[in-house]
């Protein structure tokens, strides 16, 4: 039988820049990128979508953007800067996605133009998805404004929205054109949002870099006190480790494994069960604690290292237990997260656990009774912490 065979590879490349005052006219970084990325003789456009919380915290931002692009005039700025709410709600309501797609049509944003998103991870996810599916892919510029998005989601290759009450049910793998991490946006974060993103650094450290974990452990007091130099190093290291992983064997997660989603199977479900009152970074901290305690009880991780990880999370100000995270039987709501985690990737259930700090192990089944014991242990540790 005759047949045809085809094989090709596509190279993806993007830069993550660390800066301050990205829209200050003396800061040429953004304009230099636009000049250097020109591949078409046509005059390009740029559409901005901004997180309403960021606009509220930085009331001059819209004027700064307009003045910047008026001064450089390298691309045509669409003057109607779209404002959308931040947080998980922007991924739950398809109307915001539709608003971006409609703007693409209204303003004639083509594939040589740009859609730039300014905000936290949820806004970046939603806008990135709209950019990826409009005209089969419009260049997407990310300007993350939270610790969580600067060190993890904003520098990765995933976009998406929530659907059928399932996190990221609709989405794409589409690398950004460029990422600008501006430290000035971090100065106006609430203490809760400042802390929330640190959990992803703990996650990548316990999986890949024991020395980095020790650094986080030792610098927890400085992070709690909002020392900017300490936070800048944490974000840089976390971004570096995440990007090194993305450049590995399976950047688009075609297999049944997500090694960097340690603690996430329960975190994603906890977010939904709490109606997103528990934020992603907070849920990840609890998920890390749960899978760490499980790794200990299942004989993989030493009790000493387990305690170090959980104590570090507590020292950073995280809660490590939640009543919705408790396993009381086979019908406990949190356990649905295991099947949803498997379904999201397809294939067999694959969960990352720890053999040691800096060394993970993939497993394909979870013992419900041990999970119950792990939850009870964390609940006791949480109560003990609250006494002091």
CA 196, 336, 161: angle at the middle one, nearest 5? 55
213 and 357 Cβ atoms separated by less than 8 Å: yes
What residue spans in the chain does CATH classification 1.20.1090.10 cover? 191-386
pLDDT value of residue 22: 97
Tens of pLDDT, residues 191-245: 999 999 999 999 999 999 999 999 999 999 999 999 999 999 999 999 899 888 7
15-188: CATH, from 3.30.565.10, 3.90.105.10, 3.40.50.1970, 3.40.50.300: 3.40.50.1970
pLDDT value of residue 281: 92
CATH T-level fold of 191-386: Dehydroquinate synthase-like, alpha domain (1.20.1090)
What residue spans in the chain does CATH classification 3.40.50.1970 cover? 15-188
pLDDT value of residue 38: 75
349 and 341 Cβ atoms separated by less than 8 Å: yes
Kindly report each contact of residues 383-386 with a partner whose C-beta sits within 8 Å and lies 24 or more positions away, as own/partner. Answer: 385/314, 385/320
Query: How do the pLDDT tens digits run along the chain, 388 residues long?
Result: 788 999 888 887 889 999 999 999 999 999 999 998 877 667 899 999 999 999 999 999 999 999 999 999 899 999 999 999 998 889 999 999 999 999 999 999 999 899 999 999 899 999 999 999 999 999 999 999 999 999 988 888 889 988 887 778 889 988 999 999 999 999 999 999 999 999 999 999 999 999 999 999 999 999 999 999 999 999 999 989 988 877 766 565 554 346 667 888 888 888 888 988 999 899 999 999 999 999 999 999 999 999 999 999 999 999 999 988 888 877 778 877 777 767 756 667 888 899 999 999 888 888 888 888 998 899 888 887 754 3
Distance of CA 351 to the CA centre of its chain: 19
Predicted TM-score (pTM) of the model is 0.88
By C-alpha distance, which of 140, 49, 141, 59 is closest to 97? 49
Residue 43 vs residues 35, 40, 76, 381: alpha-carbon distances, Å: 12, 8, 7, 60
């Amino acid at each position: 039988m005759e047949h045809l065979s085809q094989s090709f590879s596509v190279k993806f490349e993007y830069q993550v820049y660390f800066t301050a005052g990205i829209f200050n006219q003396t800061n040429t970084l953004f304009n230099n990128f636009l000049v250097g990325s020109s591949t078409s003789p046509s005059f390009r456009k740029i559409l901005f979508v901004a997180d309403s919380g960021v606009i509220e915290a930085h009331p001059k931002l819209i004027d700064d953007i307009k003045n910047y692009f008026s001064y450089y005039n390298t691309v045509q700025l669409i003057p109607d800067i779209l404002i959308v709410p931040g947080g998980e709600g922007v991924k739950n309501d398809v109307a915001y996605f539709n608003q971006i797609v409609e703007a693409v049509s209204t303003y004639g944003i083509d594939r040589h133009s740009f859609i730039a998103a300014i905000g936290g991870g949820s806004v970046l996810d939603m806008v990135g998805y709209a950019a990826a599916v409009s005209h089969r892919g419009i260049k997407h510029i990310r300007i993350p404004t939270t610790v969580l998005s600067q060190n993890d989601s904003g520098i990765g290759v995933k976009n998406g929205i929530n659907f059928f009450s399932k996190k990221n049910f609709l989405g794409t793998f589409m690398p950004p054109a460029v990422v600008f991490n501006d430290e000035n946006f971090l100065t106006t974060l609430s203490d809760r949002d400042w802390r929330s993103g640190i959990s992803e650094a703990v996650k990548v450290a316990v999986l890949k870099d024991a020395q980095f974990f020790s650094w986080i452990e030792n610098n927890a007091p400085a992070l709690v006190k909002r020392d900017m130099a300490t936070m800048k190093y944490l974000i840089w290291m976390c971004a570096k480790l995440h990007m090194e992983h993305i450049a590995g064997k399976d950047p688009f997660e075609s297999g049944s494994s997500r090694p960097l989603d340690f603690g996430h199977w329960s975190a994603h479900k906890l977010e939904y069960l709490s109606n997103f009152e528990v934020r992603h970074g907070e849920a990840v901290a609890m998920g890390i604690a749960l899978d760490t305690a499980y790794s200990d009880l299942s004989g993989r991780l030493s009790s000493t290292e387990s305690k170090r990880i959980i104590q570090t999370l507590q020292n950073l100000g995280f809660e490590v237990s939640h009543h919705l995270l408790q396993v009381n039987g086979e019908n406990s709501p949190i356990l649905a997260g295991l099947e949803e985690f498997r379904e999201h990737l397809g294939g067999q259930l694959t969960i990352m656990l720890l053999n040691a700090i800096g060394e993970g192990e993939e497993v394909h089944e979870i013992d419900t009774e041990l999970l119950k014991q792990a939850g009870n242990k964390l609940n006791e540790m949480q109560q003990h912490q609250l006494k002091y």
